[in-house]
């Protein structure tokens, strides 16, 4: 029953992103943003700003890639049935490691070629024999390790995300339960790879901007914000595809309640983690740790900090308390856009004070880099999405998810 | 309580969730207000079929939670700044930052109390006597039967019409429950 509906919907799958002028938006964003980013890369006076803006955009979209990977892992770890219809979306979101690796090149080139005045990572130009903080962390914070570990991270992500998607697509053809078992095994292994690799990425590319700092919560802090952003994004993609696209036959109202609950959970989780990191440092009151937050209380960074409390947490928290708002598109679409703005501000709060210590600056290069990467990744996502069935076709959990009773011995396609 | 037994409700038995779901939809559409479905296990979607609105327990939780947060903040402020001020480590006598753990825990505690006692209040618990419990067939509700009970007090209740409706929607062993 589910699979026949799936076949029917796969036929008009190419219309997924092609409705109205929305289809041209990714290309426009990539073109305009690309020109802007190119100017930033070429003009010497803009190169430092470009490097920081690019890093901000890179970490932003890395959030969505890793968030997608996490949602896939979560699905299999808990043997979930509610998220079967949206799993293909998550798998495609996660499968952007090659693009992200290309986006990493300017950061890599900055690390390898830039002089101290334009460098993203000042520790690469600090003398380890006179810098005790760097000396203590030199096992990780040295150029060769930084480069090699960075490249290993992309290789791991590429392998893991594709292993999930390949198994999932294979099940579309064979219907074999063995695919589910393989993905379940990958999830149990993958959650460790995910945890360590995300933490390393957050430390190497973002936290090391201020290498003297200590926070054992930095990885989970980036994780919490990333998954929050991704869940909001997945909500909107599902909404779009369910309204008039290929997800109509499988996206029942309850799935929006479920995604909304996860969004709510990560709203709280992010606040819990962000507060805990602040609280521990505030309470211990050690200069080696407090300097990071003191920098972020100067000028308009203070307002961004307040925005994180009231805009990143309280507003979505209070809105998402009710069931009807979780299921209302008129509330959730603006809220998901708001989540993008909040995560952007959050990453800016983490990255930009190093370059703009006097206050928050919204540079046009920030927007150009965001637009360029967003446009390219959206094109990549839509191409991938249209090339494959829009949702798992023969997943054994699909009927259960849709509330369809399949009598024993009548299920089709199970080979295992 | 009078000695003559008064009718309390009509009770009908169902065998499976699917049939009771359809029955509930028809009873809902017939406009009955004071009726209930008793099941041995939760049936997803039954509240929608019965036309029940979202529970009001959430409001008790919310009020409990916000009271807890406010009380926690006030408590730490009162103890640290007003009643027994001791400067520690150059920190202010009151800051919302170190009051958060206490306020947060009290939010959860009073939120949970609100949920529990709100549920008791809305369900009118504890209730030591309910007429259906003495009906001989009703004990199967903890085993494998589902019961629809339409109360006498419902404005639309009529012994013959209601019985006909219950028969029409597939109820078996339709019997009167005495008060």
Asked whether residue B135 is domain-assigned, the answer is yes
Residue A306 near chain B (CB below 8 Å): no
> Could you give the CA distance from residue A374 to residue A398 in angstroms, rounded to a whole number?
31
ipTM over cut 0.85: no
Instruction: Examine the domain organization and report whether B104 and B72 are in the same domain.
Output: yes
Domain end, chosen from B122, B146, B163, is at B122
Residue A322 near chain B (CB below 8 Å): yes
Whose CA is closest to A57, among A337, A356, A377, A369? A369
Query: Which of B62, B89, B101 faces A321 most closely, judged by CB atoms?
Result: B62
Instruction: Examine the domain organization and report whether B30 and B113 are in the same domain.
Output: no
Query: Which of B62, B89, B100 faces A275 most closely, judged by CB atoms?
Result: B100
Cβ contact B52:B70 at 8 Å: no
pTM: 0.89
Question: Contacts of residue A283 in chain B, CB cutoff 8 Å?
Answer: 97-98
Contact B100 A279 (CB under 8 A): yes
Query: Which of B44, B45, B54 faces A323 most closely, judged by CB atoms?
Result: B54
Domain span at residue B137 reads 7-52+125-178
Asked whether residue B81 is domain-assigned, the answer is yes
Residue A140, CA atoms < 13 Å, CB-side half-sphere: 15
Cβ contact B55:B112 at 8 Å: no
Asked whether residue B115 is domain-assigned, the answer is yes
pLDDT attached to residue A410: 55
Asked whether residue B2 is domain-assigned, the answer is no
pLDDT attached to residue A10: 42
CA-CA distances (angstroms) from residue A325 to A7, A257, A316, A319? Answer: 33, 9, 10, 7
Contact B98 A279 (CB under 8 A): yes
- Give how far A285 is from chain B: nearest CA, Å: 9
Instruction: Examine the domain organization and report whether B101 and B146 are in the same domain.
Output: no
Question: Contacts of residue B44 in chain A, CB cutoff 8 Å?
Answer: 403
> Could you give the CA distance from residue A168 to residue A95 in angstroms, rounded to a whole number?
13
Helix or strand run (H / E) with residue A221: helix A218-244
Instruction: Examine the domain organization and report whether B113 and B69 are in the same domain.
Output: yes
Positions in chain A short of pLDDT 70: 1-20, 408-416
Which of A272, A320, A321 to substitute to test the interface with B, most B CBs within 10 Å? A321
Tell me the Ramachandran region of residue A215: left when phi exceeds 0, alpha when psi lies from -120 to 50, beta otherwise. beta
What are the residues of chain B with a beta carbon less than 8 Å away from any beta carbon of chain A?
44-45, 54, 58, 62, 89-91, 97-98, 100-101
Q: How many domains does chain B have?
A: 2
Q: What is the pLDDT of residues A335-371, one digit of tens each?
A: 999 999 999 999 999 999 999 999 999 999 999 999 9
Which of B100, B105, B115 to substitute to test the interface with A, most A CBs within 10 Å? B100
Residue B17 clears pLDDT 50, i.e. is over it: yes
> b/e string for B44-67 if b means 16 or more Cβ within 10 A?
eebeebbeeeeeebeebbbebbeb
Question: Contacts of residue B54 in chain A, CB cutoff 8 Å?
Answer: 323-324
- Provide DSSP, A324-358: HHHT-HHHHHHHHHHHHHHHHHHHHHHHGGGT-TT
Domain end, chosen from B83, B98, B122, is at B122
CA closest to B54 among chain A residues? A323
Instruction: Examine the domain organization and report whether B43 and B129 are in the same domain.
Output: yes
Stretch 388-407 of chain A: residues touching chain B, C-beta under 8 Å? 403
Residue whose tokens read 């973002």: A206
- Give how far A216 is from chain B: nearest CA, Å: 20
- Neighbour tally for A303: CB within 10 Å: 12
3-state secondary structure of A416: coil
State the maximum Cα–Cα separation within chain B, in Å, rounded to a whole number.
80
- Give how far B172 is from chain A: nearest CA, Å: 24
CA-CA distances (angstroms) from residue A54 to A111, A298, A369? Answer: 13, 23, 6
What is the token pair recorded at A325? 């708002």
Residue A216 near chain B (CB below 8 Å): no
- Give how far A310 is from chain B: nearest CA, Å: 14
Residue A154 near chain B (CB below 8 Å): no
State the maximum Cα–Cα separation within chain A, in Å, rounded to a whole number.
73
Whose CA is closest to A349, among A201, A221, A230, A263? A221
Stretch 265-294 of chain A: residues touching chain B, C-beta under 8 Å? 275, 278-279, 282-283, 285
What is the torsional sign of CA A29, A35, A41, A44?
Answer: negative
pLDDT attached to residue B90: 83
- Tell me the angle at which helices A177-205 and A143-174 cross, rounded to the nearest 10 degrees: 160
DSSP A314: I
Strand B172-178: give its sheet, edge to edge.
Answer: B35-38, B146-151, B7-14, B172-178
CA closest to A404 among chain B residues? B18
Instruction: Examine the domain organization and report whether B41 and B61 are in the same domain.
Output: no
> Could you give the CA distance from residue A103 to residue A403 in angstroms, rounded to a whole number?
42
Cβ contact B71:B110 at 8 Å: yes
pLDDT attached to residue A64: 98
Question: Contacts of residue A403 in chain B, CB cutoff 8 Å?
Answer: 44-45
- Kindly compute the dihedral angle of the four CA atoms of residues A75, A79, A85, A87, in this order, to the nearest 10 degrees: 30
Instruction: Examine the domain organization and report whether B116 and B144 are in the same domain.
Output: no
Residue B2 clears pLDDT 70, i.e. is over it: no
Count of A-B CB contacts under 8 Å: 20
Residues with Cβ within 8 Å of A415's Cβ and at least 6 positions away in sequence, in order, are A174, A175, A176, A177, A178
Residues with Cβ within 8 Å of B85's Cβ and at least 6 positions away in sequence, in order, are B93
Query: Which of A283, A323, A403 faces B98 most closely, judged by CB atoms?
Result: A283
Asked whether residue B129 is domain-assigned, the answer is yes
pLDDT attached to residue A409: 62
Instruction: Examine the domain organization and report whether B143 and B105 are in the same domain.
Output: no
- A224 by Cβ neighbours in 10 Å (0-12 / 13-18 / 19+) ranks as buried
Query: Which of A278, A285, A324 faces B89 most closely, judged by CB atoms?
Result: A285
Which of A81, A252, A269, A275 to substitute to test the interface with B, most B CBs within 10 Å? A275
pLDDT attached to residue A1: 36
Contact B98 A324 (CB under 8 A): no
- Give how far A279 is from chain B: nearest CA, Å: 7
CA closest to B88 among chain A residues? A283
3-state secondary structure of A83: coil
Instruction: Examine the domain organization and report whether B93 and B131 are in the same domain.
Output: no
Instruction: Examine the domain organization and report whether B171 and B133 are in the same domain.
Output: yes
- Neighbour tally for A407: CB within 10 Å: 6
Residue whose tokens read 């939670």: B65
pLDDT attached to residue A23: 82
Residue whose tokens read 């019961």: B147
pLDDT attached to residue B179: 84
pLDDT attached to residue A404: 79
pLDDT attached to residue A412: 52
Residue B3 clears pLDDT 70, i.e. is over it: no
Mean pLDDT value of segment B3-10: 80
> Could you give the CA distance from residue A245 to residue A355 in angstroms, rounded to a whole number?
44
Cβ contact A246:A13 at 8 Å: yes
- Neighbour tally for A296: CB within 10 Å: 20
**DSSP bridge partners of B10:** B150, B176
- Neighbour tally for A45: CB within 10 Å: 8
Residue A302 near chain B (CB below 8 Å): no
Domain end, chosen from B98, B122, B146, is at B122
Q: What is the pLDDT of residues B130-150, one digit of tens each?
A: 999 989 999 999 999 999 999
CA closest to B104 among chain A residues? A272
Contact A279 B97 (CB under 8 A): yes
**What φ, ψ does residue B140 adopt, rounded to 5°?**
-70, -10
Residue B116, CA atoms < 13 Å, CB-side half-sphere: 6
pLDDT attached to residue A234: 98
pLDDT attached to residue A214: 95
> Could you give the CA distance from residue A349 to residue A356 in angstroms, rounded to a whole number?
10
CA closest to B58 among chain A residues? A322
Cβ contact B99:B72 at 8 Å: yes
Asked whether residue B93 is domain-assigned, the answer is yes
What is the torsional sign of CA A253, A258, A264, A270?
Answer: negative
Asked whether residue B1 is domain-assigned, the answer is no
pLDDT attached to residue A148: 97
Asked whether residue B168 is domain-assigned, the answer is yes
């Amino acid at each position: 029953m589910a699979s026949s509906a799936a076949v029917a919907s796969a036929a008009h799958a190419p219309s997924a992103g092609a409705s109205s002028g929305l289809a041209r938006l990714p290309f426009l964003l990539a073109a305009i943003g690309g020109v802007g980013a190119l100017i930033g890369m070429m003009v010497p006076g803009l190169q430092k700003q470009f490097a920081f803006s690019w890093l901000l955009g890179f970490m932003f979209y890395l959030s969505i890639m890793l968030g997608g990977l996490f949602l896939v892992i979560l699905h299999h770890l808990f043997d979930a049935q509610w998220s079967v219809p949206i799993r293909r979306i998550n798998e495609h979101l996660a499968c952007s490691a090659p693009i992200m690796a290309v986006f990493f090149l300017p950061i890599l080139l900055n690390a390898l070629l830039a002089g101290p005045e334009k460098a993203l990572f000042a520790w690469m130009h600090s003398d380890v024999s006179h810098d005790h903080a760097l000396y203590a962390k030199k096992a990780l914070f040295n150029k060769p390790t930084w480069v090699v570990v960075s490249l290993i991270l992309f290789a791991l992500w590429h392998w893991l995300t594709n292993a999930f998607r390949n198994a999932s697509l294979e099940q579309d053809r064979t219907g074999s339960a063995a695919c589910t078992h393989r993905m379940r095994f990958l999830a149990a292994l993958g959650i460790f790879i995910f945890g360590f690799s995300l933490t390393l990425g957050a430390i190497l590319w973002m936290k090391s901007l201020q290498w003297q700092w200590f926070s054992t919560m930095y990885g989970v802090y980036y994780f919490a914000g990333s998954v929050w952003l991704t869940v909001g994004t997945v909500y909107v993609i599902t909404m779009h595809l369910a309204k008039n696209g290929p997800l109509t036959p499988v996206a029942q109202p309850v799935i929006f309640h479920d995604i909304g609950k996860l969004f709510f959970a990560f709203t709280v989780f992010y606040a819990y983690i962000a507060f805990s990191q602040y609280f521990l440092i505030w309470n211990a009151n050690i200069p080696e740790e407090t300097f990071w937050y003191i920098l972020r209380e100067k000028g308009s960074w203070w307002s961004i900090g307040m925005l994180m409390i009231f805009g990143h947490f309280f507003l979505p928290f209070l809105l998402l308390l009710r069931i009807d708002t979780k299921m209302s598109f008129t509330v959730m679409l603006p809220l998901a856009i708001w989540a993008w703005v909040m995560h952007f501000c959050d990453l800016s709060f983490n990255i930009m004070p190093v370059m703009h210590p006097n206050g928050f600056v919204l540079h046009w290069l920030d927007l150009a880099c965001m637009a360029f990467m967003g446009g390219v990744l959206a094109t990549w996502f839509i191409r991938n999405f249209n090339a494959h069935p829009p949702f798992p076709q023969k997943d054994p959990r699909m009927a259960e998810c849709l509330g369809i009773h399949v009598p024993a011995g009548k299920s089709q396609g199970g080979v295992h | 309580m009078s000695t003559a037994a008064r009718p309390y409700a009509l009770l009908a038995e169902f065998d499976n969730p699917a049939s009771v779901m359809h029955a509930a939809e028809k009873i809902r559409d017939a406009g009955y207000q004071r009726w209930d479905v008793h099941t041995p296990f939760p049936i997803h979607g039954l509240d929608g079929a019965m036309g029940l609105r979202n529970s009001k327990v959430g409001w008790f939780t919310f009020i409990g939670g916000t009271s807890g947060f406010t009380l926690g903040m006030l408590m730490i402020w009162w103890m640290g700044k007003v009643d027994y001020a001791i400067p520690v480590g150059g920190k202010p006598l009151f800051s919302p930052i170190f009051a958060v753990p206490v306020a947060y825990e009290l939010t959860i505690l009073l939120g949970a109390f609100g949920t529990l006692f709100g549920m008791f209040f809305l369900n009118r618990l504890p209730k030591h006597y309910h007429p259906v419990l003495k009906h001989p067939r009703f004990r199967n509700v903890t085993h494998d039967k589902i019961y629809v009970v339409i109360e006498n007090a419902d404005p639309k209740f009529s012994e013959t019409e209601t019985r006909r409706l219950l028969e029409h929607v597939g109820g078996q062993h339709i019997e009167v429950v005495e008060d």
